[in-house]
Structure 1
């Protein structure tokens, strides 16, 4: 009975995706205090619904002008145990007064004041309540170990060519002056809230390992998790699970990188490899990188810089440090 209710709700929520081409990119928010009410509705919810108290996770994506796209997952939000690549349901909704409302033939979902209520259309009975949660990476604020190269701690951007501070944050579009071979890297990033933007216009940047291999930075909250979305290695591999948090929340990348190997004649003998954690969850496990990704430096035997891609979006970084191997 528990699984039947879960599958019934999943089918009931299924609908075509709401995403389309950009219609307006001028509405960009860097502070939740100045964002419209859509920002308060957007986010992650967890709780139970149905007579058997089935656990659900829900991600609500703001699309601008009071419109939303809701993605529902049986058993809870995506995490290390649940990728939910094939188990999800989707529905569109919009604001009605101070409440976001999503409706189909079976269920009505109402969201306000941090609560998501599931109501059956036939009898108007409340079938369950989910509550807004704000997850946090377990590596957020990680301290650099002894011997680490601290590239940015908020006090200066001098470790980067083209580095510019925004207060105590680092703006995208800069190269580290120091170059690296094998290394581990920790950094934290935040995408802007751009509800009317779509696809690659929605908070785009990138972390280029050795300026050669792009780990995508993008507001991909609630999306499928493709190689050109957050956590993807552009043109090479999609993440095992989409661990992207909502925009304006701080997120982490922890990267264990092994550089490609070359012989004395400059011929590549081994591909580069990387294990990557996004918000504390392994999204690439000892992944082979067979080639460089477009946009920056070609592969080669020499160490190279960390590049934080500038893509015309106000993406910011903090707490960046590297441990050389």
Structure 2
């Protein structure tokens, strides 16, 4: 009887473990391995007729898994490309066959073949938004004279532990061996496609400048842009505008950092930071009153490293260089 009970317990535990593993959201790092929803996700832009007038509009289509989608519309154009930074229209949709249909207030959006057809309740055509693929203007930026190249794809020896993926990218959980005071830094990162994940479990990492101040990396595509989302600085400041691109798009952070000033053990000036996310300023000369959670080092006068957080998701990095000042 004990043997049977023990066997049943082992079997039950095995089933529970299998279910737990099956429930873990899949992280896709190669577009070729993505699901059928992936081709619909992304950014769209065009002109729509609104109350008889033609207006520029942008839309971000977010895949949520199992054929479900969330769409955010932006009057004036996409974030950083015309949006008035005031009006967001949101709605949900479902994939049926080869088409995603979204009912939004008094309009219907039909996604197919890289376009969104917008019609009113009577079926009249209000316009079409076409899929666009934006790239950061600083993508591929070459290190200037005097720059210290931390990662160019050839070696990860400038980081600890310093691991490269099979396709020559830097793997998360790396800390630069060199430490910095005042500096400018360029890095490029790619967030995995995790449509079934939500919140902080959706493609999470972060860059800790000086190992003290984290700028969040997260699949925040289409979200409001909070201090715990992409470009945010935890508990200190949300980005001025959410410039997060869709997952699997390469993105950039360009940072100018001024270290805190100490008189012996007393801090007399806070650190300051300016951040450009995909070429757009999201924090300008922001004062950092203290370290953020998960910091490697306490706040003091000593220089610190560039730390790329391992939060359990396969975020990848390339083209990282620093110009000391």
Deviations 1:100-124 (A, max 9, x none): 1001452111001100000112x21
Alpha-carbon distance in structure 1 between the residues aligned to 2:200 and 2:174: 19
Does residue 98 of structure 1 match 2:112? no
What aligned pairs does 1:1-325 form with structure 2 within 5 A after superposition? Answer: 24-50=23-49, 51-79=52-80, 82=83, 84=85, 86-104=86-104, 106-121=106-121, 123-166=122-165, 167-263=167-263, 265-296=264-295, 297-325=297-325
The CA deviation at 1:81 is 5.9
Q: Indicate if the aligned counterparts of 2:75 and 2:84 stay in contact, CA closer than 8 A.
A: no
* Aligned-CA RMSD value: 1.3
Q: How many positions carry a matched residue from both structures?
A: 300
Residue 16 (structure 2) aligns with: none
Deviations 1:187-231 (A, max 9, x none): 000000000000100000000010000000000000000000000
The CA deviation at 1:139 is 0.3
TM-score relative to the length of structure 1: 0.90
The CA deviation at 1:47 is 0.5
The CA deviation at 1:53 is 2.0
Deviations 1:222-262 (A, max 9, x none): 00000000000111100000000000000000000000000
The CA deviation at 1:96 is 1.2
Alpha-carbon distance in structure 2 between the residues aligned to 1:255 and 1:161: 22
CA, structure 1 residues 37+210, in 2 after alignment: closer, same or farther (shift >3 Å)?
same
More displaced, 30-39 or 229-238? 30-39
Alpha-carbon distance in structure 1 between the residues aligned to 2:155 and 2:270: 34
Alpha-carbon distance in structure 2 between the residues aligned to 1:83 and 1:243: 14
The CA deviation at 1:49 is 1.2
Q: Indicate if the aligned counterparts of 2:226 and 2:238 stay in contact, CA closer than 8 A.
A: yes
The CA deviation at 1:52 is 2.2
CA, structure 1 residues 220+36, in 2 after alignment: closer, same or farther (shift >3 Å)?
same
Q: Indicate if the aligned counterparts of 1:80 and 1:281 stay in contact, CA closer than 8 A.
A: no
Equivalent residue of 1:229, what SS?
A: coil
The CA deviation at 1:77 is 0.5
Equivalent residue of 1:200, what SS?
A: helix
More displaced, 75-84 or 272-281? 75-84
TM-score relative to the length of structure 2: 0.90
More displaced, 180-189 or 97-106? 97-106
Structure 1 residue runs without a partner (length 5+): 1-22
Alpha-carbon distance in structure 1 between the residues aligned to 2:78 and 2:26: 28
Structure 2 residue runs without a partner (length 5+): 1-21
Equivalent residue of 1:178, what SS?
A: coil
The CA deviation at 1:26 is 3.2
CA, structure 1 residues 82+75, in 2 after alignment: closer, same or farther (shift >3 Å)?
closer
The CA deviation at 1:83 is 6.2
The CA deviation at 1:168 is 1.3
The CA deviation at 1:298 is 1.5
Alpha-carbon distance in structure 1 between the residues aligned to 2:139 and 2:321: 13
CA, structure 1 residues 248+126, in 2 after alignment: closer, same or farther (shift >3 Å)?
same
